[in-house]
Structure 1
Amino acid sequence: MKPAERRRARQFAVQAVYQWQITQLNAGRIIDQFEVDQDLSKTDITYFKELLTGVIHHVESLDEKLSPYLSRKIKDVDMVDLAVLRIAMFELTCRTDVPHKVVLNEAIELAKDFATDESYKFVNGVLDKALRSLKLREEVED
């Protein structure tokens, strides 16, 4: 696994989770569409699929974990920001092999790439609070 392949997997996952949030299509159909419509070369496809299916299957618990750190109700969070936050929370809680610092940095970059100009600050603030509360802060400060 190369970091650039993981980054592309996360980029496609943001788009796929966003699509799921709007359409509620099942993960298999979204993955099929991506395999046809996107150039997934140089992408960790397995990780892309895991992020999408993981977010879909754990969305309720991910939203529960995110809610205390949001300044508004989850239904009022911008859909792109929410996709980024859900992926990051999935990685923080379900992919313990991925360093928390990597998750935070990647989420900030995804917000910069896909969301509004100020979204990365919002994403950073939410995840920073979550990391402190989840007692994961020590790894971020290393």
Structure 2
Amino acid sequence: MKNKTKDSFVKQTNVVKLDEVLFMNDARRKLREEVMELLYQYDFYESKFELKNELFSPESIDLFNQVIKELEQVDLLIEKNLFDYSLNRLNKVDKAIIRLATYELLKKELAHTIVINEAIELTKEFSNLDDAKQHRFTNKVLDQIYQSIK
């Protein structure tokens, strides 16, 4: 009987840990979505951009500010890896996604596969192209960026 209880506890503990991981992934996805939105607005409004703190989480604002602080380096890295293309030709949503992912690749806090996959998922969800080419483009650019900095 003790073994059955122990097995049951182990299974419950694993479920809780899995739930925590899923929650952390959801929280990280939400953070990326908010930062993507901030980067989009920053690019769209340029000098007229005003950060409205009450609309975004403190973590999103913090990450956004970190990306902006490194934006020149991020953009140079993106430009170097856009063959026959320029940063200005990217639509603003895709530019925001690639900028955020490039920043995350530079910081090396997460595995590059996670960063690139998350960028692909954001592209699939938010990019305005329905032909599946844009997420492939995002994947290719980010993989080239990763290869150039590893």
Q: TM-score range with shorter-chain normalisation? A: 0.7 to 0.9
Deviation at 1:74, TM superposition (A): 1.1
In the alignment, structure 1 residue 32 sits paired with structure 2 residue 53: yes
Q: Normalization by structure 2: what TM-score? A: 0.74
Q: Distance in 2 between matches of 1:26 and 1:56?
A: 15
Q: Is the 8 A contact 1:14 1:80 kept in 2?
A: yes
**Structure 2 counterpart of 1:129:** 144
**Structure 1 counterpart of 2:124:** 112
Number of equivalenced pairs = 124
Q: Which has the greater radius of gyration?
A: 2
- Aligned positions of 1:2-81 closer than 5 A: 2-24=24-46, 29-32=50-53, 34-35=55-56, 45-71=57-83, 72-81=85-94
The residue type paired with residue 93 of structure 2 is V
- What are the ranges of 5 or more consecutive residues in structure 1 without an aligned counterpart? 36-44, 136-142
The residue type paired with residue 80 of structure 2 is P
**Structure 1 counterpart of 2:9:** none
In the alignment, structure 1 residue 88 sits paired with structure 2 residue 101: yes
More moved, 76-85 vs 115-124: 115-124
Q: Is the 8 A contact 1:51 1:90 kept in 2?
A: no
Q: Is the 8 A contact 2:106 2:149 kept in 1?
A: no
C-alpha distance 3-26 of structure 1, shift in aligned 2 (>3 A): farther
Q: Distance in 2 between matches of 1:128 and 1:86?
A: 13
Deviation at 1:133, TM superposition (A): 2.0
After the TM superposition, list the runs of 4 or more consecutive aligned residues in structure 1 that deviate by more than 2 angstroms.
24-27
Q: Normalization by structure 1: what TM-score? A: 0.78
Secondary structure of the structure 2 residue equivalent to 1:2: helix
**Identity level (%):** 29
More moved, 46-55 vs 110-119: 46-55
Deviation at 1:31, TM superposition (A): 4.2
CA root-mean-square deviation: 2.0
Deviation at 1:12, TM superposition (A): 1.2
C-alpha distance 47-26 of structure 1, shift in aligned 2 (>3 A): farther
